[in-house]
Chains A and B, each alone.
Chain A
Amino acid sequence: MSGGTAGAERRRRAAARGQTHLWAVQRVTAMLLGIAVVVHLATILFAVRGGLTAAEILGRTRGNGAWLAFYTVFALAAGLHGAIGLRNIAAETIGLRGRGADLAWLAIGLVTAGFGIRAAYGLFA
């Protein structure tokens, strides 16, 4: 193998390692979402029994560290899972691939998660 192709092969393998990590993150976040969505929906059904008021919600969420931790994990999982899924769809349908695109999708996932975490923190603080 010449120096050029060896270098290209090394770069390809480094990229493949990154892609494997993205795949693993998507599978782990899928497992987390499976649990989180059930808890989230069950909580909604439980909370709306006999009506719902803003004060009631805030009474439950303000200062509740466990609640904030749960929704932080939920938002992170949702943001990353969605962005990686969209990345795969974009790669296969419009051929949007490459390191730049991957970093952009990762940023989109983290920003989406950031919005969720900010909303959760707004109900916590």
Chain B
Amino acid sequence: MAEPASLKVSVWRGGEDGSFARFEVPARANQTVLDVVTTIQREFDPSLAYRFACRVGMCGSCAMTVNGRARWTCRTHVRKVVGEDGALELRPLANLPVIRDLVADLAPFFDKWQRARGVFQPKDAPDGAVPEDFAVVPPASGARQEADAGIECIGCAVCYASCDVVAWNPDYLGPAALNRAWTLVNDVRDGARQDRLDAVAGDAGCHSCHSTQSCTERCPKNLDPSSAIAGLKRTLFWDTLLGRR
């Protein structure tokens, strides 16, 4: 890729009705987009607001829109995304309220995990008590493999910001919450299956998904929320057709 001497960085400043500020930042070898943002804050404008914690792709807090596409900035090398002219455009995550500068408000995103019944409900202990005995869960069983496929989500909201359906319907639960629900539907220890399927059904839930798979394409953990949502649709289809709900 191109190796320009300096980067021309446009950074979103202000709230929803803010505008871009432009910075010329020295290009360095192996720098990540998060390094660039940190450089801007430390050397050019200390009032710049952004969010990060671990810097190594574990916490999921540094996601932003980089050149029009939601990414983890800590795991995105500048040379992979920058144009030949050294242009870099940074915005807060899409589909979420902007608090300030590069910080989006993730409250609506996590509220939807709650609405999708994303909380594990122990079958043997509905009151939340620790069950008497260990549950036996064969790792090779189909249900467990479905659950394992989606369990590594760290809640960075990259999928949510990339989803067209969220943009069209603000009530839509979004890929991450539905993916979480699918892992629990497949968890044999969970006792809230019916309730959860009710919570993820309909226009605000899995039935609005168009399977365009931006979520799967852009998930930094290579998870497949699109297939999880298809699984929820399939389960609800047969449960509805066979009168199980």
Contact = CB atoms under 8 A, between A and B. Distances in A.
Interface stretch (A17-25, A66-74, A110-118): A17-25
B201 A17 contact: yes
A15 interface: yes
* Most chain B CB inside 10 Å of its own CB: which residue of A19, A20, A92, A93: A20
Give the interface SS of chain B, mostly helix, strand, loop or mixed: helix
A93 B201 CA distance: 21
Nearest to A93: B168
A17 B198 CA distance: 8
Interface residues of B, number: 18
A16 B205 contact: yes
B207 A20 contact: yes
A40 interface: no
Contacts of A47: none
Contact of B201 (A16, A92, A97): A16
Interface in B189-245: 198-199, 201-205, 207-208, 233, 236-237, 240-241, 245
Interface in A1-51: 12-13, 15-21, 23-24, 27
- Interface extent on A, as a size class? 10 to 19
B168 A19 contact: no
Interface majority SS on A: helix, strand, loop or mixed?
helix
Contacts of A21: 240
A84 B237 CA distance: 16
A16 B240 contact: no
A92 B169 contact: yes
A91 interface: yes
Contacts of A16: 198, 201-205
Interface in A59-77: none
Contact of A20 (B165, B168, B202): B202
A19 B201 contact: yes
A19 B169 contact: no
Contacts of B245: 17
B167 to A, nearest CB: 9
Contacts of B201: 13, 16-17, 19-20
A17 B110 CA distance: 24
A93 B236 CA distance: 26
Given A20-B207, A21-B240, A23-B207, A15 B202 contact: yes
B202 A19 contact: yes
Contact of A92 (B168, B199, B240, B241): B168
Given A19-B203, A92-B168, A92-B169, A13 B241 contact: no
Contact of A19 (B207, B237, B241): B207
14 contacts: A12-B204, A16-B202, A16-B203, A17-B201, A17-B245, A19-B203, A20-B202, A20-B240, A21-B240, A23-B207, A27-B237, A91-B203, A92-B208, A97-B203
Interface of B: 165, 168-169, 198-199, 201-205, 207-208, 233, 236-237, 240-241, 245
Q: Which 6 A-B pairs have the closest CB atoms?
A: A16-B202, A19-B202, A92-B168, A23-B207, A16-B201, A20-B201
